[in-house]
Structure 1
Amino acid sequence: MEIDEEKIDDCALALLFLTMDRDQRAWKSFDWAVLQRLHDKGYIGDPVNKAKSVWLTEEGAARSRALFEACFSKPSGKDSV
């Protein structure tokens, strides 16, 4: 099976939204290679440190929220169950 790393990165970034606080820090409990790619793309600060959290850039925080909503939100409206 060939893995699409872009999709993996998008899902990881979306899930960082779950633990992101008001200072745009989130628990860095993902694969190190994924975190490094997100850092290389400019979405998070350098994940290589002793902290258990990682800082999301403005662009990263906005993309994280958008991806989370796109992937995990329920449809709104009276037809949804």
Structure 2
Amino acid sequence: MVLFLSLVLLINAVFSFTVWPPFLKRVAADERSTDAAGARTRFFTVHLVLISTALVLAAVAFVAAVIGFASLA
């Protein structure tokens, strides 16, 4: 069971680290991310917070997966 859960956590972490950074680039390039003066908008800030949270959770999942795999040795 530990092997299965560790594998799920690892897949989740890899998926998150693969998907979220390109999405942030697309959000940053979106016209709604800046106002007329060039300052960042709430649209960008909200997405930045959501993506940052997802990446922190992915890092935690990765660490948990490594700990799980290490416990099998």
TM norm structure 1:
0.33
TM norm structure 2:
0.36
Greater fraction helix: 2
Greater fraction strand: 1
